Amino acid sequence: MKNVNPVGWFDIYVSNLERAKKFYEQVFSIKLVDLPIAWGKQSLFPFNQDGPNISGALVEKTDMTPGGNNTVVYFETDDCIAEENKIQQAGGKIIRPKMSIGEFGFVSIFTDTEGNTLGLHSRK
């Protein structure tokens, strides 16, 4: 992993995407953009691709439990596999091994030693 801030993306899981979009758009005076994904519905927060910021999305998830662990922060890495091996050695657990997310690269989902759900993102 590079020696910089590795956070590159976040997902906020919601049970009702339209209701959540309305909330965030109203609170932050922004416009979220719907993104087509094969596994459900999501809306992207605005960001500047040339700036030092990150973005994320609201992701509709039918089995989401309100107040549970519903936000996933993704750490950028060269290849998810390298960190997957370290996660298990450090006492974490791989929930979803490296999988393709199409043109956006690959992700892995894991839990840390405290039970937090987190993700890895890589382009290869």
Mean pLDDT, the chain cut into blocks of 10 residues (124 residues total): 71 87 86 84 86 82 71 90 90 93 92 84 92
Domain boundaries of the chain, sorted by first residue: 1-67, 77-124
Q: Tell me which CATH code domain 1-67 carries.
A: 3.30.720.120
Global pTM reads: 0.72
Q: Which residues contact 95 (CB under 8 A, 6 or more apart)?
A: 109, 110, 111, 117
Q: Tell me which CATH code domain 77-124 carries.
A: 3.10.180.10
Q: Is 37 exposed, middle or buried (0-12, 13-18, 19+ CB in 10 A)?
A: middle
